[in-house]
């Protein structure tokens, strides 16, 4: 549409310069004099401009135009001759210099130049920095001091981190207080922690508390396919920040651009390294008195370039780790302020049951609970909604529509019962929280263990107990259905057990045969794959020894698990029957089974029965000759790390 308007304007302008007398025939001056002599001219108009022109009409009605070669006596003679012949003679006055006329004459050129300039500016700006020519423009998003609505009250579960960054707020509010004593505020603060712990939220809270502008950008926004783009964007970002000082620049996932230089196949001149070099120069080039503080976030501080972490750049690291039980309680209270909750909701109870959850996980937990309540048309979020939301996050979404044969259900029931019983019998194992044979996510059944508290390390006894519980499902299949009927359902259990046993031997120093020695090295080349950079630091004999030790650890765990289940076959059958009848059992029913009592039905099963659902009769106890249906893809039956 814009180009159509420009074309119409240009056509109109050029049409305005097309002389209206374009249809007039041009006569030679001598021919014009002959027509005057013969009396063929009826009217004539003489212009006073240089050179002079005479235009008019002949008696036959045709229009003519001629140029007078020289003004002077010859022209006067022609004029006198025309008067003698009765020709009507007029003279146009000279217009002289006209500014408007000059502008009109230059209007087409100015219009073309203006359109070209406008087009280039549009390409560079791109309506928000995304144009075709905006390669060197910073992609940082600016939030004004009035736009940042987050403050420290919205950040919970990381009190130590808030205290450490609190002085940044004081500096941004009153920098003179620090400068009087010669103190310098850290120019860069690196926030380190797992994903979802609130690093970005904490950076926003700093800007919100200090009431300063907030620039946010991702590390991947700097580098593109064009050479020099990243360095140019870094320069542009800091120039914008200086104009809005005091302010905060937040770079998320800085490991995308701040990795070790010289690592990988790109050499020392790849685009990422040029961007990093420019970032180092900018951070070391501007003075702290300018009030620009750079905050970056990463969960891989080990791969960052040492020059980036030296004093004067990112010289302070703030660890934003997973919250403990009190931190989880505070985070839950922050998120539950936004939803109506019932009187039975207890944040501390939920916090105790969610060890290892990050702030983002807890926010998702509250949101899922609100969705459960909305599906039931409830007015408030109850504790049952939060429990269901936790089960969905930990174990996956229920797939009740999945058709499973009775043989598959029975095999899954014994498999999960084997996990649960071994987990209850071995020492220092996490308590069994819930067992279900309802397909969840990609698993046909799930045995969920829930730690009683936060764990930061694990001892040898607990690791060996986990190995036993991982093999519990496979051993139960072998004991009940026979060796020939063992399925692929334990593939994920075997994979995790093997990895854990290998770590015991090669990393954790928990093998008596190998001793406290680390075998193998982590690769330093951060851009190449393991197959390219793996360094062989052990001999073939040592590798064979490691394989023997790993096999010995796993064989002991398998035999121990088999011994425990063989001695508790009655409990294995009882738990499998309860699972086939109720589909899901919790810790209370598991306690009844382990104590030799008849397990009662779960509360939600009673509700289903009241609504008209009739539970299936308990199946008979099976033996080794019971046929088993096809189990399916091993990946589809893995518990995704939930049953050990």
List residues with catalytic annotation: 416
| Measured distance CA(511)–CA(358) in Å, rounded | 33
Residue 26: beta bridge partners?
A: 65
* Residues 172 and 292: beta-carbon distance below 8 Å: no
* DSSP string of 87-143, one letter each residue: -EEEEEPP----HHHHHHHHHHHHHHHHHHHHHHHHHHHTTTT-STT-TTS--PEEE
Residue 316 phi, psi (nearest 5):
-135, 130
b/e per residue 326-359 (b: at least 16 CB within 10 A): ebbbbbbebbbeeeebeeebebeebbbbbbebbb
Residue owning tokens 């306690």: 591
Tokens encoding 263: 């690592």
Residue 297 phi, psi (nearest 5):
-130, 140
Taking alpha carbons only, the member of 477, 488, 443, 489 closest to residue 622 is 477
b/e per residue 244-262 (b: at least 16 CB within 10 A): bbbbbbbbbbbbbbbbbbe
Output DSSP code: residue 18: S
Pairing label, strands 41-47, 53-58: antiparallel
Tokens encoding 70: 């020289």
Residue owning tokens 């060197």: 136
Tokens encoding 556: 């002991």
| Measured distance CA(316)–CA(537) in Å, rounded | 35
Tokens encoding 549: 């030790």
Neighbours of 395 (CB within 10 A): 23
Residue owning tokens 């004093």: 311
Asked, as a colleague might, if the bond just before 162 is cis with ω within 30 of 0, I would say no
Pairing label, strands 314-319, 25-26: unpaired
Residue 55 makes CB contacts below 8 A (sequence gap 6+) with 21, 24, 44, 45, 47, 63, 64, 65, 66
Residue 224 makes CB contacts below 8 A (sequence gap 6+) with 135, 230, 271
* DSSP SS3 for 378: coil
Residue 286 makes CB contacts below 8 A (sequence gap 6+) with 238, 242, 292
| Measured distance CA(370)–CA(185) in Å, rounded | 43
Answer positive or negative: Cα dihedral of 205, 206, 209, 215.
Answer: negative
């Amino acid at each position: 549409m814009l180009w159509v308007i420009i074309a119409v304007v240009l056509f109109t302008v050029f049409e305005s310069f097309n002389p209206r007398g374009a249809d007039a025939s041009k006569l030679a001056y001598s021919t014009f004099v002959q027509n005057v002599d013969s009396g063929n001219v009826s009217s004539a108009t003489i212009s006073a401009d240089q050179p002079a022109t005479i235009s008019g009409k002949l008696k036959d009605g045709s229009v003519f135009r001629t140029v007078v070669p020289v003004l002077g006596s010859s022209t006067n003679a022609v004029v006198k001759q025309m008067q003698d012949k009765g020709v009507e003679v007029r003279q146009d006055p000279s217009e002289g210099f006209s500014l408007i006329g000059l502008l009109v004459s230059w209007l087409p050129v100015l219009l073309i130049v203006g359109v070209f300039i406008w087009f280039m500016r549009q390409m560079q700006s791109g309506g928000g920095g995304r144009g075709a020519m905006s390669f060197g423009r910073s992609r940082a998003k600016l939030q004004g001091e009035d736009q940042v609505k987050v403050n420290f009250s919205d950040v919970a579960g990381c009190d130590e981190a808030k205290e450490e960054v609190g002085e940044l707020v004081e500096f941004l509010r009153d920098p003179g207080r620090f400068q009087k004593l010669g103190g310098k505020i850290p120019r860069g603060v690196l926030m380190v922690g797992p994903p979802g712990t609130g690093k970005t939220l904490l950076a926003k809270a700093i800007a919100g508390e200090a009431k300063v502008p907030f620039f946010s950008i991702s590390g991947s926004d700097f580098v593109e396919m064009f050479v020099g783009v990243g360095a140019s964007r870094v320069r542009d970002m800091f120039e914008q920040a200086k104009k809005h000082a005091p302010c905060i620049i937040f770079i998320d996932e800085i490991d995308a651009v701040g990795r070790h230089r010289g690592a990988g196949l790109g050499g020392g001149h790849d685009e990422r390294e040029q961007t990093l070099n420019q970032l180092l120069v900018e951070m070391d080039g501007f003075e702290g008195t300018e009030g620009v503080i750079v905050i970056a976030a990463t969960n891989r501080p080990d791969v960052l370039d040492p020059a980036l972490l030296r004093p004067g750049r990112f010289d302070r690291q703030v660890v934003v780790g997973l919250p403990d039980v009190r931190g989880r309680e505070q985070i839950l209270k922050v998120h539950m302020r936004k939803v109506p909750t019932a009187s039975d909701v207890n944040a501390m109870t939920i916090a105790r049951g969610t060890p290892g959850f990050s702030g983002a996980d807890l926010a998702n937990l509250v949101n899922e609970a609100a969705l459960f309540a909305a599906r039931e048309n409830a007015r408030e979020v109850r504790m049952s909604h939060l429990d269901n939301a936790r089960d969905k996050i930990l174990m996956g979404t229920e797939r009740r529509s999945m058709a499973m044969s009775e043989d598959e259900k029975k095999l899954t029931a014994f498999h999960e019962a084997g996990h649960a019983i071994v987990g209850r019998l071995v020492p220092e194992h996490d308590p069994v929280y819930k067992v279900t044979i309802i397909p969840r996510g990609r698993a046909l059944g799930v045995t969920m263990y829930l730690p009683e508290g936060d764990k930061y390390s694990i001892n040898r006894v607990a690791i060996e107990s986990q190995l036993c519980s991982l093999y519990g499902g496979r051993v139960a299949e072998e004991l009940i259905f026979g060796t020939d009927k063992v399925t692929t359902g334990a593939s994920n259990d075997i994979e995790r057990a093997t990895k854990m046993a290998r770590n015991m031997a090669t990393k954790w120093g928990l093998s008596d045969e190998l001793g406290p020695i680390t075998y193998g090295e982590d690769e330093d080349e951060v851009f190449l794959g393991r197959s390219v950079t793996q360094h062989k630091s052990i001999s073939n004999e040592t590798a064979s020894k490691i394989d023997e030790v790993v096999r010995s650890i796993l064989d002991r765990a398998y035999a121990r698990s088999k011994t425990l289940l063989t001695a508790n076959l009655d409990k294995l059958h009882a738990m499998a029957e309860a699972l086939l009848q109720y589909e899901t059992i919790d810790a209370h029913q598991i306690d009844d089974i382990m104590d030799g009592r008849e397990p009662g039905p779960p509360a939600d099963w009673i509700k289903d029965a009241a609504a008209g659902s009739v539970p299936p009769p308990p199946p008979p106890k099976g033996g080794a000759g019971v046929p088993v249906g096809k189990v399916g893809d091993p990946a589809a039956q893995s518990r995704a790390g939930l049953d050990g």
